[in-house]
Structure formats: C-alpha cells, structure tokens
Amino acid sequence: MKHIVIMGATSGIGLGVARVYARAGWRVGVAGRNREALEALAREFPDNVVARQIDVTSPEAPLALLALISDLGGMDIYLHASGIYYANPALNVAHETAIARTNVTGFTALVDTAFRYFSTRGERGLLAAITSVASTRGIGEMPAYSASKRYQTTYLDALEQLAVSHGLPIDFCDIRPGWTRTPLIDPTRSYPMSMSVDKVVAETVRALIRRRRLTFIDLRWRLLCALWRRLPRRLWPHIPYQTSREK
C-alpha cells in the first residue's frame, strides 16, 4: 500500500487531494492547525487516514511530521499545501511577517524534513509543493506572498540539484495554480480567471501521478505567466494589477 502525507490538509486544495487519495485506497497522513477538520477527515476515512495537528511555524513541527510518518507506516509522497495569504498594499507588518513565518520558515523546516526522510529511505520518493503563479513576478498588492512563493520555487530548484548531485532517488513537483476559490480568498470579491477547488485538485492529482516537475493550473495562467516573464523589468512597475474587485 502506498502512503502520502499532506501538510495543510484541513481545507482547500490539500483537503481535496487527501480525499482523492483516501478514496483510491492509499494510506493518507493529514496535518494542519485545525484539529476539528483533521478529526472530521479521519472519521470520514477511518481505515485510510491518520491525522496529526501540526503548526508549521512551531519549532516542534519537524518532529511532529516524522511522528506522523511513523504512525502512517511510511511516506512515498510528501505534498506541502500549507500556506497563508493576505492582499496587503498597505504593508501591514504583522501580515507580511506572518506570511514569511508560514510560507518561508515553516515551508523550509517541513520540506527539509521530508527531503531528509527520502534521502535515507533508499526508495524513490516524490516531494511536491503547491506554490503559485504569484511566484512569477513581484506583485504590488501582495509583496510578501509573491516573494514567499518565489522563495518556494527557487528552494525546490535547489533541492533538486542537491538530490541529483548526491544521486538521491527523489522527484520534485512544483504545482502553480492561479486564483483558486479556497477559504484563503475573500468570498465577497471577484478574482480574475478564478477556478474551483475541484478543478485545481484534479489537476494537482494528475501532476502528482505523472510526477510533473512543473505544472501551471490552468492554461490561461500558464500563458499569462509566460507573458509576465518576458516583460522588460522597466515595464513591470507600470503594469496595472488588481487582485480582486467588488461583486
């Protein structure tokens, strides 16, 4: 039986992916901060799901992840779907630093733990993360968020090089969705080219099955990001970008 661990499985994309794998008969380790959501998922799939409350910003998070892997009986795939988001053009310091703690420091601690586990396991593992199309360029309304996602994509690049240089059998998936209608975004506002959670979950699972190194969700966002990358640096500050609008 195969095993997948999903960090950030209490809502949105992580929760949806957990349900898909549990229904497919996998052993699924789920983690996040919301204990009630984790317990509800474990009750929904009592034979497949093992849950553990983990706050990625806690110093104890790496040990808690290893304990979850042990309880599950192993790990073939690690999916990091944990993250927070604020649109913050006013540069609220508390919001910016909270994003950094979760999306940078917490991400690093847990992804490193998964990498070290796979490096000693001796069998091929898959280390995957839900990053974002926001990693493409720094976006004025979400400075810390776009920077944190750029950090994540660069970190995965570095880990891949490290794995190859040491001959480690670890594959990597960088999954970059556009706006997804999860609890992270304001339900009273309309977001450009937004997608349902079900659509993004299906594309995420497909990327994991195929072990795609890089996946943009969806084609519209892939094309837009290609355009963003090609814009001269001097033009980028003048590109109007509105993250959302009133319904």
Token pair in block for residue 87: 């649109």
Mean pLDDT of the chain: 93
Mean pLDDT, rounded, for 205-216: 97
pLDDT in tens, 9-47: 999 999 999 999 999 999 999 999 999 999 999 999 999
Q: Helix/strand/coil (H, E, C) string of 93-129?
A: HHHHHHHHHHHHHHHHHHHHHHHHHHHHHCCCEEEEE
Give pTM, 2 decimals: 0.94
Look at residue 244 in the predicted model and tell me its pLDDT. Answer: 54
CA–CA distance, 113 with 161 (Å, rounded to integer)? 17
pLDDT over 70 percentage in the chain: 96
DSSP 239: S
**Euclidean distance between CA atoms 176 and 135, whole angstroms:** 8
95-145 pLDDT tens trace: 999 999 999 999 999 999 999 999 998 889 999 999 999 999 998 889 999
pLDDT in the model for residue 122: 81
Q: How far is CA 130 from CA 12, 38, 147, in A?
A: 11, 19, 15
pLDDT digits (tens, 9 = 90+) for 134-164: 999 998 889 999 999 999 999 999 999 999 9
